[in-house]
Amino acid sequence: MLCDRFKKERLKTGLNQVEFAKLFNVTKQTVSNWESGKRKPDIEMLSNIAKYFNVTTDYLLGNDISDNKTDDIKLSNLEKLDSNKMVKVPVLGVIKAGIPMFAEENIVDFEYIHQEELSVGEEYFYLEVKGDSMINAQINEGNRVLIRKQDYLECNGDIMAVRVNGDEATLKRIYKQENGIVLQSENPKYAPMFYPASDLENGYVGIIGKAIEVKIKL
């Protein structure tokens, strides 16, 4: 159980075995042994790994029969994060239908960001901007926008990453209406796009995250 959950959580971070080993000052073979079940990390190492994954040690060990990854204590530990620690965040191009969001096919690069800038328990990714539809929001082609993964709209007018046409990821302001949603560009040459509620229900259109900040292309 430990080996399976350890590997599952490592893959979610986007780190390969060599990169993960460097973070914890162990060898690639040690990480490989953990994932194959040949060896287990000691108690201190297990605790550090659990903190990095934002899960409990019981979850990693398989002692948590409810399969819960976190508990109230862990979720309150944001103030204890190491502000000098850098987190590897995947950069996505398109988000292909039928393929998990963070699968290799969707990832074009990685960015590093201070851990203190991220909220505990949330998933993040960067979306590489294509086109000029958001230029009046100072979001230009080639910029990378940090996205917090979520499938709901908090406030009308929020800039969100949206999947349209089945597999194309785009950034737009979203306005919810009674019978659907409107995607609004920040460039007057592009008309608003309306999608009925049925498109949301059948997966043709879907909210995938909220824009948090923009990394300017130098």
Q: Report the alpha-carbon distance of residue 84 to residue 103 in Å, rounded.
A: 28
Give the HSE-up count for residue 199: Cα atoms under 13 Å, Cβ half-sphere.
18
Q: Give the Cβ contact number of residue 180 at 10 Å.
A: 15
Contact in structure between 185 and 172 (CB atoms under 8 Å): yes
Amino acid at 210: K
Asked if 133 is an active-site residue, the reply is: yes
Asked if 28 is an active-site residue, the reply is: no
Task: Please identify which of the residues 8, 22, 130, 172 carries the catalytic annotation.
Answer: 172
What residues does 107 pair with on adjacent strands?
92
Task: Give the single-character DSSP code of 98.
Answer: T
* Pairing relationship of beta strands 168-177 and 180-184 according to DSSP bridges: antiparallel
Task: Please identify which of the residues 28, 32, 133, 149 carries the catalytic annotation.
Answer: 133
Q: Report the alpha-carbon distance of residue 167 to residue 56 in Å, rounded.
A: 34
Known catalytic residues are 133, 172
